[in-house]
Structure 1
Amino acid sequence: MSVTPAPDETPVGLEPSSGSVASPARFSVWALAALPEVVPGDDLGALVGDAIERDGGLEAGDVVVVTSKIVSKAEGRVRAAADREAAITEETVRPVASRSSDHGVLRIVENRLGLVMAAAGVDASNTPEGTVLLLPEDPDASARAIRAALVRRFGVEVGVVVSDTIGRPWREGQTDIAIGVAGVRVVHDLRGTTDTHGREIRVTQSAVVDEIAGATELVRGKATARPLAIVRGLGRFVTPDDGPGARALVRPAEDDLFRTGSEESYEEGYADGYERGVTEAFDSERDDDDTPVTESY
């Protein structure tokens, strides 16, 4: 079900829109019934399929959203709570910011999936006491495996999104985003099309899979043991191939205007400026010392 684009091809799900993907006027989203506790080694494709079958099955173009928590549990991404800080360090690629509070030190980091998250996505919620969960090893691969199982079982073309909760710069609160995707257009690229007044759209790329993930959080809730949801009516965004996955949404470093936290940026700039100032002062003094002395008579 996967697709590997040739070097000169744009991955399915990222190509510019020709205007053929019209905005649907209505779609439906609902959570499936609660699942029993998922444990390492569970066949997640079968568990998800069973839950969907009890709900009435799938239609072509449906998108199934699965929380990362049950993916992590099934894949054995469980650690002892005492090892939480070590797990965060293990998952960290690059620190972004850290802040002290009454609850300890909060670390905002870029994790190995390219996501900038609090605690690298390591979480103690909705997991048995004394444990924490790491994010899935490869959420896109997890989404592809679940999708393949559902397509085999129900015989229709569907998409799968693996979701997780994240905070946002500039905004209070959290929302769900897609960290793994298979069979769904990850962005709806409107650049090159025109708005209702005939002006060319030059910037807008709607993050379709993030919007889908956020919509399902409204019906799933956080403490209901309902980790699955179905979105119906967005078949325009479901693709025949798995596509590039959620990793395609990670902004390249050279385009990232917010690589570090504000305090960290200030401290780094101050240190750099101080170092330059000391160096320049030293060079200036050395130049003065090396200046030949000319005596006049």
Structure 2
Amino acid sequence: MTGPFTVWAPDGLPEVNPGDDLVALTAPVLAGLQDGDIVVITSKIVSKSEGRVVAAHDREQAITDETVRVVATREHPGGTTRIVENRLGLVMAAAGVDASNTPDGTVLLLPLDPDASARTIRAGLQRRLGVRIGVVVTDTAGRPWRQGVTDLAIGAAGVVVLDDLRGERDTHGRLLTATVTAVADEIAAAAELVKGKSDGRPIAVVRGLGHLVTDEDGPGARAVVRLGPDDMFAQGSAEAYAQGWADAQAAVADGQG
């Protein structure tokens, strides 16, 4: 049974610049880490340290460059919103390209491999601080059918990312057949409650969930991504309708041929 846990966001992290050693910068503000703690890091500072700040006077072009597949496009008074699958397999607005808190004329791309970033940070912090921890790298995204945005895990190391409860029984004895909990996303969302979007505290520590910290790095947050045959909503409704209409017309044309 999971007991109480605590989440806090330490102060004191300096501005992160391209080429900075993120482990060296974060270790001093995380000096009190204990075995079983989970460090939750906003992807923005991971991207900055890895030099993912790129010149892009046209943010739309940067989004196009990071896009693998367009899911939905909507025009609105403020411009155009594109929901796309990016190079990491993540489906989100603007491919995760961020134009906030970066110098004029630049945008910030997501880390090339957030799971690898999480593994590197975990190994470095464990070595420096002598503790056994987990690391989750997060980004912000919207969700179908829900207003607002929340943080989710895009990288993870040493943390259970999915808790498969299938085969267990609920409190009434009923067999669970479909319940798989996205633990890493829940940790990311809990951490965002204390980090905030504009408070200058991009790191949080979760204590009390040591049963979710693993010896091995594990499969990473990539295991949470649902694509291919498992994705029942691979297109926006308007796009799916248009594609279905086009397919129907093509089938009629083939039949007439």
Q: TM-score range by the shorter chain?
A: over 0.9
1:106 CA displacement = 1.2
Equivalent residue letter for 2:202: P
The answer to whether the aligner puts 1:188 opposite 2:163 as a matched pair is yes
Give the whole-Å Cα distance in 2 for the aligned partners of 1:205 and 1:268: 32
1:36 CA displacement = 2.3
Q: 2:144 aligns with which of 157, 163, 169?
A: 169
Residue 6 of structure 1 aligns with which residue?
A: none
Give the whole-Å Cα distance in 2 for the aligned partners of 1:160 and 1:132: 25
Residue 42 of structure 2 aligns with which residue?
A: 67
1:275 CA displacement = 2.0
Q: Which moved more, 1:209-218 or 1:100-109?
A: 100-109
| Number of residue pairs matched by the alignment | 257
Give the whole-Å Cα distance in 1 for the aligned partners of 2:199 and 2:51: 22
Q: 2:251 aligns with which of 273, 276, 282?
A: 276
Contact 2:56 2:62 in 1 (8 A): no
1:252 CA displacement = 3.5
Q: 1:262 aligns with which of 231, 237, 240?
A: 237
Give the whole-Å Cα distance in 2 for the aligned partners of 1:215 and 1:230: 10
1:85 CA displacement = 1.8
Secondary structure, in 3 states, of the residue corresponding to 1:33? coil
Contact 1:34 1:227 in 2 (8 A): no
User: What is the identity percentage for the equivalent residue pairs of Structure 1 and Structure 2?
Assistant: 64
Secondary structure, in 3 states, of the residue corresponding to 2:142? strand
Secondary structure, in 3 states, of the residue corresponding to 2:72? strand
Residue 288 of structure 1 aligns with which residue?
A: none
1:48 CA displacement = 1.2
1:81 CA displacement = 4.1
The answer to whether the aligner puts 1:39 opposite 2:14 as a matched pair is no
The correspondence of residues 1-297 of structure 1 with structure 2, limited to 5 A, is: 22=1, 24-53=2-31, 57-280=32-255, 282-283=256-257
**Per-residue CA distance 1:65-88 (angstroms, 9 max, x = gap):** 000000000001012341422221
Equivalent residue letter for 1:190: L
TM-score using structure 2 length: 0.97
Give the whole-Å Cα distance in 1 for the aligned partners of 2:150 and 2:72: 20
Contact 2:13 2:26 in 1 (8 A): no
Secondary structure, in 3 states, of the residue corresponding to 1:113? coil
Equivalent residue letter for 2:130: G
Secondary structure, in 3 states, of the residue corresponding to 1:160? strand
Equivalent residue letter for 1:181: A
1:211 CA displacement = 0.2
Give the whole-Å Cα distance in 2 for the aligned partners of 1:177 and 1:129: 27
1:219 CA displacement = 0.5
Give the whole-Å Cα distance in 1 for the aligned partners of 2:202 and 2:143: 22
1:124 CA displacement = 1.2
Give the whole-Å Cα distance in 2 for the aligned partners of 1:125 and 1:178: 20
TM-score using structure 1 length: 0.84
**Per-residue CA distance 1:82-122 (angstroms, 9 max, x = gap):** 14222211211111111112222211110111100101000
Q: Which moved more, 1:32-41 or 1:152-161?
A: 32-41
Q: Which has the larger radius of gyration?
A: 1
Equivalent residue letter for 2:26: V
Secondary structure, in 3 states, of the residue corresponding to 2:74? strand
Contact 1:151 1:158 in 2 (8 A): yes
Equivalent residue letter for 1:31: A
Secondary structure, in 3 states, of the residue corresponding to 1:95? strand
1:154 CA displacement = 1.4
